[in-house]
Structure 1
Amino acid sequence: MAGMTTPGPPTEPPEAERAVDCRGLSHRFGDHLAVDDVSLWIAPGEVFGLLGPNGAGKTTTIRLLTTLLPLRQGRARVFGLDPGRRPMRVRRLLGYVPQELSADGSLTGRENVMLFARLFDVPRAQRWERVTEVLAAMELTEAADRVVAGYSGGMVRRLELAQALVNRPRLLVLDEPTIGLDPVARSGVWERITELRAATGMTVLMTTHYMDEADALCDRVALMHRGRLRALGAPAELKDQLGPGASLEDVFRHYTGDHLGDAGRQGGLRDVRRTRRTAGRLG
Protein backbone atom coordinates (compact mmCIF):
# COMPACT_ATOMS: atom_id res chain seq x y z
CA MET A 1 0.00 0.00 0.00
CA ALA A 2 3.00 2.30 -0.40
CA GLY A 3 2.16 5.79 -1.56
CA MET A 4 -1.55 5.52 -0.64
CA THR A 5 -2.44 8.01 2.07
CA THR A 6 -5.70 9.38 3.39
CA PRO A 7 -6.40 13.03 4.28
CA GLY A 8 -7.22 12.28 7.91
CA PRO A 9 -10.46 11.75 9.81
CA PRO A 10 -13.41 13.94 8.80
CA THR A 11 -15.26 16.28 11.12
CA GLU A 12 -18.71 15.03 12.11
CA PRO A 13 -21.23 16.35 9.57
CA PRO A 14 -24.83 17.31 10.39
CA GLU A 15 -27.15 14.31 10.42
CA ALA A 16 -28.85 15.29 7.16
CA GLU A 17 -25.51 15.41 5.33
CA ARG A 18 -24.16 11.99 6.37
CA ALA A 19 -23.57 9.29 3.78
CA VAL A 20 -24.48 6.62 6.35
CA ASP A 21 -26.06 7.02 9.78
CA CYS A 22 -26.89 4.11 12.10
CA ARG A 23 -28.51 4.27 15.54
CA GLY A 24 -28.97 1.22 17.72
CA LEU A 25 -28.78 -1.20 14.80
CA SER A 26 -29.39 -4.81 15.85
CA HIS A 27 -30.19 -8.05 14.03
CA ARG A 28 -30.84 -11.63 15.10
CA PHE A 29 -30.69 -14.93 13.29
CA GLY A 30 -32.91 -17.02 15.53
CA ASP A 31 -31.35 -16.90 18.98
CA HIS A 32 -28.04 -15.54 17.70
CA LEU A 33 -27.57 -11.77 18.07
CA ALA A 34 -25.34 -11.02 15.08
CA VAL A 35 -25.41 -7.21 15.34
CA ASP A 36 -25.86 -5.69 18.79
CA ASP A 37 -26.78 -2.00 19.19
CA VAL A 38 -24.39 -0.59 16.56
CA SER A 39 -24.31 3.19 16.15
CA LEU A 40 -21.97 4.96 13.72
CA TRP A 41 -21.88 7.58 10.98
CA ILE A 42 -19.91 7.94 7.76
CA ALA A 43 -19.17 11.28 6.12
CA PRO A 44 -19.59 11.84 2.37
CA GLY A 45 -16.33 11.05 0.57
CA GLU A 46 -14.92 9.10 3.53
CA VAL A 47 -13.27 5.67 3.34
CA PHE A 48 -14.63 3.83 6.36
CA GLY A 49 -13.47 0.38 7.42
CA LEU A 50 -15.40 -2.24 9.39
CA LEU A 51 -12.84 -4.52 11.00
CA GLY A 52 -13.17 -7.57 13.17
CA PRO A 53 -12.65 -11.33 13.35
CA ASN A 54 -14.84 -13.82 11.50
CA GLY A 55 -18.37 -13.77 12.87
CA ALA A 56 -18.04 -10.24 14.29
CA GLY A 57 -21.14 -8.98 12.48
CA LYS A 58 -19.47 -6.94 9.72
CA THR A 59 -21.20 -8.59 6.76
CA THR A 60 -24.58 -8.57 8.52
CA THR A 61 -24.22 -4.83 9.15
CA ILE A 62 -23.44 -4.26 5.47
CA ARG A 63 -26.39 -6.38 4.37
CA LEU A 64 -28.72 -4.31 6.56
CA LEU A 65 -27.46 -1.10 4.97
CA THR A 66 -27.65 -2.44 1.42
CA THR A 67 -31.28 -3.63 1.80
CA LEU A 68 -30.34 -7.33 1.65
CA LEU A 69 -31.65 -7.93 5.18
CA PRO A 70 -34.74 -6.36 6.76
CA LEU A 71 -34.26 -3.60 9.33
CA ARG A 72 -36.10 -4.86 12.39
CA GLN A 73 -34.40 -3.00 15.22
CA GLY A 74 -32.68 0.37 15.22
CA ARG A 75 -32.45 3.10 12.63
CA ALA A 76 -30.37 3.43 9.47
CA ARG A 77 -30.09 6.08 6.77
CA VAL A 78 -28.12 6.10 3.52
CA PHE A 79 -27.85 9.66 2.21
CA GLY A 80 -30.95 10.41 4.25
CA LEU A 81 -32.98 7.47 2.91
CA ASP A 82 -34.36 4.62 5.01
CA PRO A 83 -33.19 1.28 3.47
CA GLY A 84 -36.27 -0.42 4.92
CA ARG A 85 -38.81 2.01 3.47
CA ARG A 86 -37.01 3.15 0.32
CA PRO A 87 -35.01 0.08 -0.78
CA MET A 88 -35.06 0.79 -4.51
CA ARG A 89 -33.95 4.39 -4.07
CA VAL A 90 -31.13 3.27 -1.77
CA ARG A 91 -30.00 0.58 -4.21
CA ARG A 92 -29.69 3.16 -7.00
CA LEU A 93 -27.12 5.00 -4.87
CA LEU A 94 -25.03 1.89 -4.17
CA GLY A 95 -22.31 -0.14 -5.78
CA TYR A 96 -21.81 -3.40 -3.90
CA VAL A 97 -19.04 -5.98 -4.19
CA PRO A 98 -19.99 -8.90 -1.90
CA GLN A 99 -17.82 -11.71 -0.61
CA GLU A 100 -19.76 -14.13 -2.76
CA LEU A 101 -18.70 -14.38 -6.39
CA SER A 102 -20.88 -12.07 -8.50
CA ALA A 103 -19.29 -12.61 -11.93
CA ASP A 104 -20.60 -15.31 -14.29
CA GLY A 105 -17.70 -17.39 -15.58
CA SER A 106 -19.58 -18.44 -18.70
CA LEU A 107 -19.94 -14.84 -19.94
CA THR A 108 -17.34 -12.39 -21.19
CA GLY A 109 -16.26 -9.50 -19.02
CA ARG A 110 -18.21 -7.07 -21.17
CA GLU A 111 -21.34 -9.20 -21.00
CA ASN A 112 -21.10 -9.35 -17.20
CA VAL A 113 -20.85 -5.58 -16.85
CA MET A 114 -23.59 -5.01 -19.44
CA LEU A 115 -25.86 -7.28 -17.39
CA PHE A 116 -25.27 -5.13 -14.32
CA ALA A 117 -25.88 -1.98 -16.34
CA ARG A 118 -29.33 -3.35 -17.18
CA LEU A 119 -29.96 -4.44 -13.59
CA PHE A 120 -29.04 -0.97 -12.33
CA ASP A 121 -31.33 0.55 -14.95
CA VAL A 122 -28.58 2.54 -16.66
CA PRO A 123 -30.31 4.30 -19.59
CA ARG A 124 -30.06 2.22 -22.75
CA ALA A 125 -28.41 5.04 -24.72
CA GLN A 126 -25.61 5.29 -22.13
CA ARG A 127 -24.94 1.60 -21.45
CA TRP A 128 -22.22 0.90 -24.00
CA GLU A 129 -20.31 4.05 -23.04
CA ARG A 130 -20.63 3.33 -19.30
CA VAL A 131 -19.57 -0.31 -19.69
CA THR A 132 -16.56 0.66 -21.82
CA GLU A 133 -15.65 3.38 -19.32
CA VAL A 134 -15.58 1.15 -16.23
CA LEU A 135 -13.78 -1.69 -18.02
CA ALA A 136 -11.07 0.78 -19.01
CA ALA A 137 -10.90 2.18 -15.47
CA MET A 138 -10.28 -1.36 -14.17
CA GLU A 139 -7.70 -2.00 -16.94
CA LEU A 140 -9.80 -4.76 -18.48
CA THR A 141 -10.24 -3.38 -22.00
CA GLU A 142 -8.04 -6.02 -23.64
CA ALA A 143 -9.73 -8.85 -21.72
CA ALA A 144 -13.27 -7.49 -22.04
CA ASP A 145 -14.40 -9.93 -24.72
CA ARG A 146 -12.78 -13.00 -23.19
CA VAL A 147 -14.78 -15.51 -21.15
CA VAL A 148 -14.38 -14.80 -17.42
CA ALA A 149 -13.62 -18.45 -16.61
CA GLY A 150 -10.13 -17.74 -17.95
CA TYR A 151 -9.52 -14.65 -15.80
CA SER A 152 -7.04 -14.59 -12.91
CA GLY A 153 -8.28 -13.87 -9.40
CA GLY A 154 -7.18 -10.24 -9.58
CA MET A 155 -8.96 -9.76 -12.90
CA VAL A 156 -12.16 -11.26 -11.50
CA ARG A 157 -12.14 -8.82 -8.58
CA ARG A 158 -11.50 -5.85 -10.89
CA LEU A 159 -14.38 -7.05 -13.08
CA GLU A 160 -16.67 -7.14 -10.05
CA LEU A 161 -15.62 -3.59 -9.24
CA ALA A 162 -16.50 -2.58 -12.80
CA GLN A 163 -19.92 -4.18 -12.30
CA ALA A 164 -20.45 -2.23 -9.07
CA LEU A 165 -19.31 1.07 -10.60
CA VAL A 166 -21.31 1.00 -13.83
CA ASN A 167 -24.18 2.98 -12.27
CA ARG A 168 -21.76 5.63 -10.88
CA PRO A 169 -22.67 5.02 -7.22
CA ARG A 170 -22.41 7.58 -4.46
CA LEU A 171 -21.56 4.82 -1.96
CA LEU A 172 -19.29 1.90 -2.89
CA VAL A 173 -19.61 -1.03 -0.46
CA LEU A 174 -16.79 -3.57 -0.48
CA ASP A 175 -17.02 -6.76 1.59
CA GLU A 176 -13.50 -8.27 1.76
CA PRO A 177 -12.62 -6.82 -1.69
CA THR A 178 -9.15 -8.37 -1.92
CA ILE A 179 -9.64 -11.68 -0.14
CA GLY A 180 -7.53 -14.42 -1.68
CA LEU A 181 -5.44 -12.08 -3.85
CA ASP A 182 -1.68 -11.85 -3.84
CA PRO A 183 -0.03 -8.54 -2.79
CA VAL A 184 0.44 -7.31 -6.37
CA ALA A 185 -3.22 -7.93 -7.27
CA ARG A 186 -4.36 -6.37 -3.99
CA SER A 187 -2.36 -3.25 -4.68
CA GLY A 188 -3.76 -3.04 -8.22
CA VAL A 189 -7.35 -3.23 -6.99
CA TRP A 190 -6.79 -0.48 -4.41
CA GLU A 191 -5.00 1.78 -6.86
CA ARG A 192 -8.06 1.67 -9.11
CA ILE A 193 -10.42 2.38 -6.19
CA THR A 194 -8.24 5.23 -4.90
CA GLU A 195 -8.12 6.84 -8.35
CA LEU A 196 -11.90 6.62 -8.74
CA ARG A 197 -12.54 8.02 -5.29
CA ALA A 198 -10.26 10.97 -6.03
CA ALA A 199 -12.01 11.59 -9.35
CA THR A 200 -15.62 11.22 -8.17
CA GLY A 201 -15.64 11.91 -4.43
CA MET A 202 -17.63 8.75 -3.76
CA THR A 203 -17.90 7.31 -0.27
CA VAL A 204 -16.39 3.87 0.41
CA LEU A 205 -17.49 1.43 3.13
CA MET A 206 -15.27 -1.64 3.31
CA THR A 207 -14.51 -4.69 5.40
CA THR A 208 -11.10 -6.30 5.37
CA HIS A 209 -8.90 -8.67 7.34
CA TYR A 210 -5.78 -6.98 6.00
CA MET A 211 -4.73 -4.42 8.60
CA ASP A 212 -2.21 -2.79 6.24
CA GLU A 213 -5.09 -2.00 3.86
CA ALA A 214 -7.19 -0.48 6.62
CA ASP A 215 -4.27 1.51 8.01
CA ALA A 216 -3.25 2.96 4.65
CA LEU A 217 -6.66 3.55 3.10
CA CYS A 218 -9.27 4.27 5.77
CA ASP A 219 -10.00 7.70 7.21
CA ARG A 220 -11.65 5.94 10.17
CA VAL A 221 -12.27 2.36 11.22
CA ALA A 222 -14.77 0.66 13.51
CA LEU A 223 -13.67 -2.55 15.18
CA MET A 224 -16.47 -5.06 15.80
CA HIS A 225 -16.41 -8.13 18.00
CA ARG A 226 -19.34 -10.44 18.78
CA GLY A 227 -21.77 -8.05 17.17
CA ARG A 228 -20.76 -4.93 19.09
CA LEU A 229 -18.55 -1.96 18.32
CA ARG A 230 -15.43 -2.10 20.48
CA ALA A 231 -13.47 0.87 19.10
CA LEU A 232 -13.97 3.61 16.53
CA GLY A 233 -11.62 6.28 15.23
CA ALA A 234 -8.82 7.12 12.86
CA PRO A 235 -6.20 4.36 12.64
CA ALA A 236 -3.53 6.71 14.04
CA GLU A 237 -5.72 7.59 17.03
CA LEU A 238 -6.44 3.96 17.86
CA LYS A 239 -2.75 3.04 17.61
CA ASP A 240 -1.72 5.99 19.80
CA GLN A 241 -4.08 4.79 22.53
CA LEU A 242 -1.96 1.64 22.88
CA GLY A 243 1.34 3.49 23.02
CA PRO A 244 4.40 4.13 20.84
CA GLY A 245 5.08 1.63 18.10
CA ALA A 246 1.63 0.01 18.22
CA SER A 247 0.20 -1.29 14.94
CA LEU A 248 -3.41 -1.61 13.84
CA GLU A 249 -2.99 -5.37 14.23
CA ASP A 250 -2.09 -4.72 17.88
CA VAL A 251 -5.32 -2.74 18.20
CA PHE A 252 -7.21 -5.64 16.65
CA ARG A 253 -5.76 -8.12 19.14
CA HIS A 254 -6.27 -5.76 22.07
CA TYR A 255 -10.01 -5.51 21.50
CA THR A 256 -10.76 -9.02 20.24
CA GLY A 257 -8.11 -11.34 21.65
CA ASP A 258 -7.94 -12.93 18.19
CA HIS A 259 -5.12 -13.08 15.68
CA LEU A 260 -5.31 -12.47 11.96
CA GLY A 261 -5.33 -15.42 9.61
CA ASP A 262 -3.93 -15.79 6.12
CA ALA A 263 -6.73 -15.19 3.64
CA GLY A 264 -4.87 -17.13 0.99
CA ARG A 265 -3.41 -16.38 -2.41
CA GLN A 266 -5.11 -15.74 -5.68
CA GLY A 267 -5.67 -18.31 -8.37
CA GLY A 268 -8.26 -18.45 -11.10
CA LEU A 269 -12.03 -18.24 -10.96
CA ARG A 270 -12.35 -21.61 -9.19
CA ASP A 271 -9.91 -20.63 -6.43
CA VAL A 272 -11.62 -17.28 -5.94
CA ARG A 273 -15.01 -18.98 -5.62
CA ARG A 274 -13.68 -21.48 -3.06
CA THR A 275 -11.94 -18.81 -0.97
CA ARG A 276 -14.99 -16.56 -0.83
CA ARG A 277 -17.33 -19.43 -0.05
CA THR A 278 -15.21 -20.22 3.01
CA ALA A 279 -15.03 -16.54 4.04
CA GLY A 280 -18.79 -16.18 3.66
CA ARG A 281 -19.46 -19.13 5.96
CA LEU A 282 -17.16 -17.69 8.61
CA GLY A 283 -18.01 -14.10 8.63
Structure 2
Amino acid sequence: MTNSSEADIVLDVDGLRMRYGTTDVLREVTFRARHGEVLALLGPNGAGKTTTIEILEGFRARSAGRVQVLGLDPAHGDDRWRARLGIVLQSWRDHGKWRVRELLTHLGAHYAPYATADIPRPWNTAELLAAVGLTEQAEHKAKTLSGGQRRRLDVAIGLVGRPELLFLDEPTAGLDPQARHAFHGLVRRLAAERRTTVLLTTHDLAEADKLADRILILAGGRIVADGTADELARRIVGEDEVRWTRAGRRFTRTTAESTAFVRTLFHEHGEAIGELEVRRASLEDTYIALVRRQEATVR
Protein backbone atom coordinates (compact mmCIF):
# COMPACT_ATOMS: atom_id res chain seq x y z
CA MET A 1 0.00 0.00 0.00
CA THR A 2 1.37 3.45 -0.96
CA ASN A 3 2.13 5.78 1.92
CA SER A 4 -0.02 8.94 1.68
CA SER A 5 3.01 11.19 1.96
CA GLU A 6 4.73 9.22 -0.79
CA ALA A 7 1.63 9.52 -2.98
CA ASP A 8 1.88 13.30 -2.64
CA ILE A 9 5.31 13.31 -4.33
CA VAL A 10 5.22 14.69 -7.88
CA LEU A 11 8.97 14.92 -8.57
CA ASP A 12 11.39 12.41 -7.06
CA VAL A 13 14.98 12.78 -8.25
CA ASP A 14 17.74 10.75 -6.63
CA GLY A 15 21.38 10.67 -7.70
CA LEU A 16 20.72 12.09 -11.16
CA ARG A 17 23.84 12.17 -13.32
CA MET A 18 24.43 13.35 -16.85
CA ARG A 19 27.72 12.90 -18.65
CA TYR A 20 28.73 14.15 -22.08
CA GLY A 21 31.91 12.37 -23.10
CA THR A 22 34.21 12.77 -20.13
CA THR A 23 32.38 15.79 -18.71
CA ASP A 24 29.85 15.42 -15.88
CA VAL A 25 27.17 18.08 -16.39
CA LEU A 26 25.05 16.79 -13.50
CA ARG A 27 26.47 15.06 -10.43
CA GLU A 28 24.23 13.30 -7.90
CA VAL A 29 21.33 15.76 -8.23
CA THR A 30 18.70 14.89 -5.62
CA PHE A 31 15.43 16.65 -4.70
CA ARG A 32 11.69 16.13 -4.32
CA ALA A 33 8.57 18.20 -4.92
CA ARG A 34 5.01 17.72 -3.72
CA HIS A 35 1.60 18.59 -5.12
CA GLY A 36 1.00 22.34 -4.99
CA GLU A 37 4.65 23.29 -4.41
CA VAL A 38 6.34 26.04 -6.42
CA LEU A 39 10.08 25.41 -6.84
CA ALA A 40 12.58 27.78 -8.41
CA LEU A 41 15.66 26.17 -9.94
CA LEU A 42 18.42 28.77 -9.97
CA GLY A 43 21.99 28.66 -11.17
CA PRO A 44 24.53 30.35 -13.42
CA ASN A 45 24.62 29.65 -17.15
CA GLY A 46 26.07 26.22 -17.78
CA ALA A 47 25.13 24.89 -14.34
CA GLY A 48 22.88 22.17 -15.82
CA LYS A 49 19.41 23.68 -15.34
CA THR A 50 18.23 23.07 -18.90
CA THR A 51 19.61 19.52 -18.92
CA THR A 52 17.81 18.76 -15.65
CA ILE A 53 14.50 20.09 -16.96
CA GLU A 54 14.80 18.20 -20.26
CA ILE A 55 15.40 14.94 -18.38
CA LEU A 56 12.34 15.54 -16.20
CA GLU A 57 10.24 16.32 -19.27
CA GLY A 58 11.35 13.10 -20.94
CA PHE A 59 13.19 14.81 -23.78
CA ARG A 60 16.70 13.72 -22.77
CA ALA A 61 18.04 10.38 -21.51
CA ARG A 62 20.07 10.50 -18.29
CA SER A 63 23.36 8.76 -17.64
CA ALA A 64 22.49 7.46 -14.17
CA GLY A 65 20.21 7.96 -11.19
CA ARG A 66 16.52 7.48 -10.42
CA VAL A 67 13.87 9.90 -11.69
CA GLN A 68 10.12 9.67 -11.09
CA VAL A 69 7.77 12.31 -12.48
CA LEU A 70 4.09 11.91 -11.59
CA GLY A 71 4.90 8.36 -10.57
CA LEU A 72 6.61 7.32 -13.82
CA ASP A 73 10.12 7.28 -15.22
CA PRO A 74 10.00 10.10 -17.83
CA ALA A 75 12.17 7.99 -20.15
CA HIS A 76 9.13 5.72 -20.55
CA GLY A 77 6.31 8.27 -20.30
CA ASP A 78 3.37 7.69 -22.66
CA ASP A 79 0.84 10.14 -24.09
CA ARG A 80 -1.40 9.89 -21.03
CA TRP A 81 1.53 10.78 -18.80
CA ARG A 82 2.63 13.63 -21.08
CA ALA A 83 -0.89 15.09 -21.06
CA ARG A 84 -0.44 15.74 -17.34
CA LEU A 85 2.52 18.06 -18.00
CA GLY A 86 2.58 21.68 -19.08
CA ILE A 87 5.68 23.27 -20.59
CA VAL A 88 6.36 26.97 -21.21
CA LEU A 89 9.60 27.43 -23.12
CA GLN A 90 11.72 30.59 -23.43
CA SER A 91 10.85 31.18 -27.08
CA TRP A 92 7.30 31.06 -28.39
CA ARG A 93 6.16 28.49 -30.91
CA ASP A 94 5.60 29.60 -34.47
CA HIS A 95 1.80 29.60 -34.82
CA GLY A 96 1.68 32.96 -36.56
CA LYS A 97 -1.21 32.28 -38.94
CA TRP A 98 -3.56 30.97 -36.24
CA ARG A 99 -6.03 33.18 -34.43
CA VAL A 100 -5.49 33.02 -30.68
CA ARG A 101 -8.85 31.48 -29.70
CA GLU A 102 -8.73 29.07 -32.64
CA LEU A 103 -5.23 27.90 -31.72
CA LEU A 104 -6.04 27.24 -28.07
CA THR A 105 -9.25 25.41 -28.97
CA HIS A 106 -7.36 23.27 -31.49
CA LEU A 107 -4.55 22.40 -29.07
CA GLY A 108 -6.98 21.81 -26.23
CA ALA A 109 -8.81 19.13 -28.22
CA HIS A 110 -5.73 16.92 -27.98
CA TYR A 111 -6.15 16.79 -24.18
CA ALA A 112 -9.85 15.85 -24.14
CA PRO A 113 -9.21 12.06 -24.18
CA TYR A 114 -7.16 12.41 -21.00
CA ALA A 115 -9.78 14.17 -18.90
CA THR A 116 -10.56 12.64 -15.51
CA ALA A 117 -13.28 13.09 -12.93
CA ASP A 118 -10.90 15.24 -10.89
CA ILE A 119 -9.31 17.15 -13.77
CA PRO A 120 -11.54 18.07 -16.74
CA ARG A 121 -9.44 18.68 -19.81
CA PRO A 122 -8.90 20.94 -21.69
CA TRP A 123 -9.18 24.28 -19.92
CA ASN A 124 -12.22 26.18 -21.22
CA THR A 125 -10.83 28.52 -23.89
CA ALA A 126 -12.67 31.65 -22.74
CA GLU A 127 -11.61 31.06 -19.12
CA LEU A 128 -8.02 30.43 -20.17
CA LEU A 129 -7.92 33.60 -22.29
CA ALA A 130 -9.17 35.59 -19.31
CA ALA A 131 -6.65 33.93 -16.98
CA VAL A 132 -3.66 34.95 -19.13
CA GLY A 133 -5.04 38.35 -20.11
CA LEU A 134 -5.67 37.71 -23.81
CA THR A 135 -9.45 38.05 -24.03
CA GLU A 136 -9.26 41.19 -26.15
CA GLN A 137 -6.79 39.50 -28.54
CA ALA A 138 -8.85 36.31 -28.93
CA GLU A 139 -9.57 36.90 -32.62
CA HIS A 140 -6.14 38.31 -33.47
CA LYS A 141 -3.63 36.29 -35.46
CA ALA A 142 -0.65 35.24 -33.35
CA LYS A 143 1.79 37.00 -35.68
CA THR A 144 0.13 40.36 -34.92
CA LEU A 145 0.61 40.09 -31.14
CA SER A 146 3.17 42.18 -29.30
CA GLY A 147 6.13 40.46 -27.65
CA GLY A 148 4.44 40.48 -24.25
CA GLN A 149 1.18 39.16 -25.71
CA ARG A 150 3.05 36.37 -27.48
CA ARG A 151 4.57 35.45 -24.14
CA ARG A 152 1.09 35.25 -22.62
CA LEU A 153 0.10 32.97 -25.49
CA ASP A 154 3.09 30.76 -24.66
CA VAL A 155 1.79 30.50 -21.12
CA ALA A 156 -1.74 29.72 -22.31
CA ILE A 157 -0.41 26.92 -24.55
CA GLY A 158 1.41 25.46 -21.54
CA LEU A 159 -1.76 25.58 -19.45
CA VAL A 160 -4.39 24.49 -21.95
CA GLY A 161 -4.33 20.86 -20.78
CA ARG A 162 -4.74 21.77 -17.07
CA PRO A 163 -1.33 20.31 -16.15
CA GLU A 164 -0.63 18.74 -12.78
CA LEU A 165 3.04 19.67 -13.22
CA LEU A 166 4.05 22.88 -14.95
CA PHE A 167 7.57 23.65 -16.21
CA LEU A 168 8.29 27.35 -16.68
CA ASP A 169 11.51 28.48 -18.36
CA GLU A 170 12.03 32.23 -17.81
CA PRO A 171 8.23 32.63 -17.83
CA THR A 172 7.98 36.42 -17.52
CA ALA A 173 10.68 37.38 -20.01
CA GLY A 174 9.22 40.13 -22.18
CA LEU A 175 6.27 40.88 -19.90
CA ASP A 176 5.63 44.40 -18.64
CA PRO A 177 5.34 44.91 -14.84
CA GLN A 178 1.54 44.74 -14.85
CA ALA A 179 1.50 41.52 -16.88
CA ARG A 180 4.25 40.07 -14.68
CA HIS A 181 2.22 40.82 -11.55
CA ALA A 182 -0.86 39.17 -13.07
CA PHE A 183 1.16 36.12 -14.07
CA HIS A 184 2.56 35.75 -10.56
CA GLY A 185 -1.00 35.78 -9.25
CA LEU A 186 -1.99 33.09 -11.74
CA VAL A 187 0.88 30.81 -10.67
CA ARG A 188 -0.02 31.22 -7.00
CA ARG A 189 -3.68 30.40 -7.74
CA LEU A 190 -2.73 27.30 -9.72
CA ALA A 191 -0.63 26.04 -6.83
CA ALA A 192 -3.09 26.94 -4.07
CA GLU A 193 -6.42 26.10 -5.70
CA ARG A 194 -5.53 23.31 -8.13
CA ARG A 195 -2.46 21.93 -6.33
CA THR A 196 -0.44 22.31 -9.51
CA THR A 197 3.26 21.71 -8.93
CA VAL A 198 5.42 24.33 -10.62
CA LEU A 199 9.13 24.11 -11.42
CA LEU A 200 10.47 27.35 -12.82
CA THR A 201 13.87 28.57 -13.93
CA THR A 202 14.60 32.26 -13.84
CA HIS A 203 17.48 34.70 -13.63
CA ASP A 204 15.17 37.14 -11.85
CA LEU A 205 15.96 36.47 -8.19
CA ALA A 206 13.21 38.82 -7.01
CA GLU A 207 10.72 36.75 -8.99
CA ALA A 208 12.03 33.51 -7.47
CA ASP A 209 11.84 35.02 -3.98
CA LYS A 210 8.26 36.15 -4.56
CA LEU A 211 6.90 33.00 -6.21
CA ALA A 212 8.76 29.98 -4.88
CA ASP A 213 7.95 27.94 -1.80
CA ARG A 214 11.43 26.44 -2.13
CA ILE A 215 14.62 27.49 -3.84
CA LEU A 216 16.99 24.98 -5.44
CA ILE A 217 20.41 26.34 -6.39
CA LEU A 218 22.32 24.31 -8.96
CA ALA A 219 26.03 25.03 -9.30
CA GLY A 220 28.81 22.88 -10.67
CA GLY A 221 26.28 20.22 -11.61
CA ARG A 222 25.08 19.76 -8.01
CA ILE A 223 22.22 21.03 -5.88
CA VAL A 224 24.17 23.17 -3.42
CA ALA A 225 21.14 24.58 -1.58
CA ASP A 226 17.51 23.55 -1.04
CA GLY A 227 15.11 25.50 1.18
CA THR A 228 13.00 28.62 1.52
CA ALA A 229 14.64 31.92 0.68
CA ASP A 230 14.68 32.86 4.38
CA GLU A 231 16.14 29.50 5.44
CA LEU A 232 18.93 29.74 2.88
CA ALA A 233 19.72 33.33 3.78
CA ARG A 234 20.03 32.43 7.46
CA ARG A 235 22.05 29.30 6.75
CA ILE A 236 24.42 30.72 4.16
CA VAL A 237 24.70 34.45 4.80
CA GLY A 238 23.60 34.37 8.39
CA GLU A 239 23.46 37.96 9.58
CA ASP A 240 21.29 41.02 9.04
CA GLU A 241 22.71 44.50 8.73
CA VAL A 242 21.36 47.22 11.04
CA ARG A 243 22.03 50.88 10.23
CA TRP A 244 21.10 53.95 12.28
CA THR A 245 22.19 57.46 13.17
CA ARG A 246 22.74 59.03 16.60
CA ALA A 247 24.07 62.48 17.43
CA GLY A 248 24.90 63.13 13.79
CA ARG A 249 26.96 59.95 13.42
CA ARG A 250 26.15 56.91 11.29
CA PHE A 251 26.46 53.39 12.69
CA THR A 252 26.32 49.90 11.13
CA ARG A 253 26.12 46.56 12.90
CA THR A 254 25.76 43.01 11.56
CA THR A 255 23.87 40.58 13.78
CA ALA A 256 21.95 37.33 13.57
CA GLU A 257 19.45 38.71 16.12
CA SER A 258 18.41 42.01 14.57
CA THR A 259 15.07 42.28 16.40
CA ALA A 260 16.66 41.87 19.84
CA PHE A 261 19.46 44.25 18.88
CA VAL A 262 17.06 47.00 17.78
CA ARG A 263 15.03 46.57 20.97
CA THR A 264 18.19 47.03 23.05
CA LEU A 265 19.24 49.99 20.94
CA PHE A 266 16.01 51.88 21.64
CA HIS A 267 16.07 50.89 25.29
CA GLU A 268 19.51 52.48 25.65
CA HIS A 269 19.12 55.55 23.41
CA GLY A 270 15.41 56.08 22.84
CA GLU A 271 14.49 59.01 20.60
CA ALA A 272 18.14 59.76 19.90
CA ILE A 273 18.05 56.95 17.34
CA GLY A 274 17.28 58.08 13.78
CA GLU A 275 17.19 56.71 10.23
CA LEU A 276 16.93 53.13 11.45
CA GLU A 277 17.20 50.53 8.71
CA VAL A 278 17.33 46.74 9.00
CA ARG A 279 18.54 45.00 5.88
CA ARG A 280 17.87 41.30 6.01
CA ALA A 281 20.07 38.88 4.10
CA SER A 282 18.44 38.50 0.69
CA LEU A 283 18.13 35.68 -1.80
CA GLU A 284 20.60 37.57 -3.99
CA ASP A 285 23.15 37.61 -1.16
CA THR A 286 22.64 33.88 -0.68
CA TYR A 287 22.88 33.07 -4.37
CA ILE A 288 26.08 35.06 -4.88
CA ALA A 289 27.68 33.54 -1.77
CA LEU A 290 26.88 29.98 -2.86
CA VAL A 291 27.99 30.41 -6.46
CA ARG A 292 31.26 32.04 -5.34
CA ARG A 293 31.82 29.21 -2.88
CA GLN A 294 31.25 26.61 -5.59
CA GLU A 295 33.57 28.44 -8.01
CA ALA A 296 36.28 28.56 -5.33
CA THR A 297 36.14 24.78 -4.82
CA VAL A 298 36.55 24.16 -8.56
CA ARG A 299 39.72 26.28 -8.85
2:285 aligned to 239, 242, 250, which one?
250
Give, in whole Å, the separation in 1 of the partners of 2:121 and 2:49.
33
Amino acid of the structure 1 residue aligned with 2:188: T
Q: CA deviation at 1:103?
A: 4.8
Q: CA deviation at 1:19?
A: 0.9
1:14-58 residue CA offsets vs partner (Å, 9 max, x unmatched): 334201000111123334322221000001110011011111111
- The verdict on how the C-alpha distance between 1:127 and 1:30 changes in structure 2, with shifts beyond 3 A counting, is same
Find the counterpart in structure 1 of residue 188 from structure 2: 194
1:38-83 residue CA offsets vs partner (Å, 9 max, x unmatched): 0000011100110111111111111111111123311111121111
1:89 aligned to 62, 72, 80, which one?
80
Give, in whole Å, the separation in 1 of the partners of 2:165 and 2:85.
5
Mapped pair 1:52 → 2:43? yes
Q: Which has the higher contact order (CA 8 A, sep 6+)?
A: 1
Amino acid of the structure 2 residue aligned with 1:171: L
Mapped pair 1:35 → 2:26? yes
- The verdict on how the C-alpha distance between 1:58 and 1:103 changes in structure 2, with shifts beyond 3 A counting, is same
Amino acid of the structure 1 residue aligned with 2:284: E
Amino acid of the structure 2 residue aligned with 1:63: E
Q: Which residues in structure 2 correspond to 1:164-183 (within 5 Å)?
A: 164-183=158-177
Q: CA deviation at 1:129?
A: 6.9
Whether contact under 8 Å (2:17, 2:25) holds in the other structure is yes
2:56 aligned to 56, 61, 65, which one?
65
Whether contact under 8 Å (2:121, 2:161) holds in the other structure is no
C-alpha RMSD of the superposition: 2.3
Find the counterpart in structure 2 of residue 279 from structure 1: none
- The verdict on how the C-alpha distance between 1:120 and 1:254 changes in structure 2, with shifts beyond 3 A counting, is same
Give, in whole Å, the separation in 1 of the partners of 2:81 and 2:62.
13
Mapped pair 1:232 → 2:226? yes
Give, in whole Å, the separation in 1 of the partners of 2:202 and 2:73.
26
Q: Between Structure 1 and Structure 2, which shows a larger proportion of strand residues?
A: 2
Amino acid of the structure 2 residue aligned with 1:247: S
Instruction: Number of aligned residue pairs: give it.
Output: 245
Give, in whole Å, the separation in 2 of the partners of 1:229 and 1:128.
35
1:180-205 residue CA offsets vs partner (Å, 9 max, x unmatched): 43433322322222233333121111
Give, in whole Å, the separation in 1 of the partners of 2:13 and 2:173.
26
Mapped pair 1:75 → 2:66? yes
Find the counterpart in structure 2 of residue 15 from structure 1: 6
Give, in whole Å, the separation in 2 of the partners of 1:78 and 1:240.
31
Q: CA deviation at 1:122?
A: 5.2
- Aligned identity (percent) is 40
Find the counterpart in structure 2 of residue 184 from structure 1: 178
1:114 aligned to 100, 105, 108, which one?
105
